[in-house]
Structure 1
C-alpha cells in the first residue's frame, strides 16, 4: 500500500491545491487533480532522502530557542546598523569558518540556520565540507565571530547529528 500511496496527506493536499488554483469543481478538474495528487508523490518518492538520526532532542529544543533568540537579536542589530549607516557604515566581510560537522543533514540544518539569521549569508561550502564561507553584515572581530558561530550553531548540530 505504501508503495502506491507513499503520502496520502500530500496527495490530498495536491488535489485540494489543484482545485483551488483552477477555481473549479468540474468533474474533469476533480479527476485530473486526483490523478496529479496520486501520481506526484509516487514519482518523487525516490528523490526523498532517508531520515537522518536524531540523537539529542533536548539539545535540538535548546538550539531552536537559541536560533529564535538570535533571529530577533540579529534583526535588531541589522536595523540599527542600517539606521546608523551614514555616520558609521557597517563593516561587511567574508569569513571562512573551518567545520568539524560533516553530516549532510547537519550541514543542511546549519545552512538553514545561517540563512534565517539576518546579517549572515551562506556563500560557499568547500567540496570536502571542511570549511564554510559566510558574508557577515557587520563584523568587528573575525576570530570572535568564528568562535561564536562554531559554539552557538555547529557544536549543538554536531551533538544532534553526530
Structure 2
C-alpha cells in the first residue's frame, strides 16, 4: 500500500519570484527604504502569495531561463518598433490603415503560457488579443494595420509562441 503525500499549504504557497516582485513594487511605490517600509515590503511579499494561493493556481515553472531573457528583449524591441510604426500611421495625413482580425492557431497548452502570449500581443502597440478560443485552439488578434493576416499569425507564432513553448515546455 502506498501513501500519497499532499503538500501543505505552506509548501504550495511558495512563490519566491512573486514575493520578491511584490516587495520591490512596494518599495518603488513608496520611494523609500526606511525600516517601516522594508518591514511592510517583507510582510506583503511573504503574506500575499500565501493569502492568495487559492486564486493563483499552480505556479508555472519556466524551464529555459536564457530563452525567457531573449524573449523579454524581443518583446521590448517589438514594443519600441511598434510604437514608431503606430505613431507614423496615426500622424501621417495620408495613411490608410487596414484593420483586420487575425486568427493565430495556439500550440501552447499551458494556461499561464497562453495568458502570457495574450499579454505580449496586447502590450505591443497596434495589436490587441481579444479572445482565446479553446474550442478552436486559437487566439483572435485585432491588428490596426494588416495586409497579410497569415503573415501576422506566422510572425506571432515565430517571435512569441515558439519561445514560450521552449520556456514552459
Band the TM-score falls in, shorter-chain normalisation: 0.7 to 0.9
2:167 counterpart residue number: 160
Alignment map for 1:8-157 (pairs within 5 Å): 43-84=51-92, 86-128=93-135, 130-157=137-164
CA deviation profile, 1:75-127 (whole Å, cap 9, x unmatched): 0000000012x412211111111111111111011111112100111111113
Question: Structure 1 stretches of 5 or more lacking a match?
Answer: 21-36
SS at match of 1:122: strand
Deviating beyond 3 angstroms after TM superposition, the runs of 4 or more aligned structure 1 residues are 37-43
Residues 54, 160 of structure 1: 8 Å contact kept = yes
Report the Cα distance in structure 2 between the residues aligned to 1:89 and 1:97, rounded to whole angstroms: 24
Give the direction of change, closer, same or farther, for the CA distance of 1:140–1:106 in structure 2 (3 Å limit).
Answer: same
Residues 75, 118 of structure 1: 8 Å contact kept = yes
1:129 positional shift: 6.3
Give the direction of change, closer, same or farther, for the CA distance of 1:39–1:131 in structure 2 (3 Å limit).
Answer: closer
Give the direction of change, closer, same or farther, for the CA distance of 1:147–1:42 in structure 2 (3 Å limit).
Answer: closer
Give the direction of change, closer, same or farther, for the CA distance of 1:41–1:160 in structure 2 (3 Å limit).
Answer: closer
Report the Cα distance in structure 1 between the residues aligned to 2:47 and 2:158, rounded to whole angstroms: 44
Greater Rg over alpha carbons, structure: 1
Residues 102, 150 of structure 2: 8 Å contact kept = no
Give the direction of change, closer, same or farther, for the CA distance of 1:111–1:129 in structure 2 (3 Å limit).
Answer: farther
